Amino acid sequence: MPGGPETNNRMKKHTKGTAHPKGEFALIEWIRKNTPLKVRKFPIGIGDDAAAVRVVSGELIVLTTDIILEGTHFRLPEATPYHIGWKAICSALSDVAAMGLRATAAVVSLALREDLSMGFAKRLYRGMAKASSEFDVAIIGGDIGSWDGPIAVAVTVLGETGGLRPIRRSGARPGDWLMVTGTLGGSSWGKHLRFRPRLNEGFILNKTYRIHAMIDISDGLLADLGHILAESEVGAILSAERIPISSAARRGRARPLGASAAPRFSLKSGKSALHHALYDGEDFELLFSASPRESQKILTQKPLGRLRLSHIGEVCKKKGLFILYPHGNKRRVEPVGYEHFRTKKSS
């Protein structure tokens, strides 16, 4: 019954590697069950990288919100105010990139400690303004409050489809190839403050090819792949030697951002480079699935220019997530992210 009170109970974990994951996942699971949406008006609800609304004229727009928190998503002085502003805008833009759409406008809600100087606030805004001009997204409104708490920046971005179909997490099909942009791992050693959301790349992929499912890697490759698999009700097998490992993850240590920069983790992490690539969060690269034929076309035509594009595995019918190691070892892994992994290790 189209237009009837059918509900859309999809859920999304918007959180980026926060410190209290189990509670948040359970909370979101609970919210999911308690938030029915009318499918015709809201074809994509909670549970994807962005939500979609069919406005009065029939046009589909998307909205996504993202909050970054001092101590969870950045630390002073490693993060300069400029970096905080940049990261706040770019984290939200990355969610629109994951839908394969263009971002048009952003509104910003900002909580600032009372003791921060005007200069600090201006530098933070300059980071936001720079990101907004780089990615052609207008900052059109906001709210600023001051308190004695840490810094919090919530950004909501409007994406316009212009007739293009938003790419969901739920479209992966058995047989699809899994592809990822860029290189992974070690983002917390610097990239997480300077990354460029793959907005243009997501849009080009959506416009030119039939992409079945897409997500941005914020919680970690395995965790975010897990979201695609759960929403698509499929499994996957990854090839360990095909995972594109970043040089930061290979080095396994921090490259200082400046004189005042303090690495967030030990200089030697004691983990393998592959481990970092699989579990670290905040890569903000795109992970997507497409048919083998379409994937081969993309790999041949190189629509993303010099940006690395890797075929890292396949979607399969059998549920579960497996990694194939060289010499044929196959191991089942849990689709968890870095923070979750840490939680498990410490318990």
Per CB under 8 A, contacts with a second copy among 133-162 are 138-150, 152, 154, 156, 158, 160-162
Applying the rule CB under 8 A, the residues between 154 and 213 that interact with a second copy are 154, 156, 158, 160-163
Minimum distance between the CB of residue 103 and a second copy, rounded to whole angstroms?
12
Residue pair 13/25 in contact (Cβ under 8 Å)? The answer is yes
CA–CA distance from 125 to each of 80, 161, 253, 286 (Å)? 12, 27, 30, 27
Applying the rule CB under 8 A, the residues between 48 and 77 that interact with a second copy are 50-51, 53, 55-59, 61, 63-73
The dihedral through the CA atoms of 209, 215, 221, 227 has a sign that is negative
Applying the rule CB under 8 A, the residues between 304 and 333 that interact with a second copy are none
346 is a site residue for a second copy (CB under 8 A): no
Size of the site for a second copy (CB under 8 A): 77
> From the centroid of its chain, how far is CA 114?
31
Minimum distance between the CB of residue 95 and a second copy, rounded to whole angstroms?
9
Applying the rule CB under 8 A, the residues between 96 and 135 that interact with a second copy are 104-105, 107-112, 114, 118, 121-122, 125, 129
Q: How many CA atoms are closer than 13 Å to the CA of 203, on its beta-carbon side?
A: 17
Minimum distance between the CB of residue 217 and a second copy, rounded to whole angstroms?
16
The letter for the amino acid at 205 is L
Residue pair 192/75 in contact (Cβ under 8 Å)? The answer is no
- CB atoms < 10 A from the CB of 292, how many? 12
Give the residues across from 181 on adjacent strands. 309
Minimum distance between the CB of residue 162 and a second copy, rounded to whole angstroms?
5
Task: List for the chain the helix, strand, coil content (%; round to 5).
Answer: 35, 25, 40
Applying the rule CB under 8 A, the residues between 1 and 30 that interact with a second copy are 12, 14-16, 18-20, 23-24, 26-28, 30
Minimum distance between the CB of residue 286 and a second copy, rounded to whole angstroms?
19
Nearer to a second copy by Cβ, of 144 and 267: the residue is: 144
Contact window for a second copy (CB under 8 A) among 41-49, 79-87, 169-177, 239-247: 41-49
Minimum distance between the CB of residue 328 and a second copy, rounded to whole angstroms?
41
Q: Residue 274: CB partners within 8 Å, gap ≥ 6? A: 185, 240, 243, 245
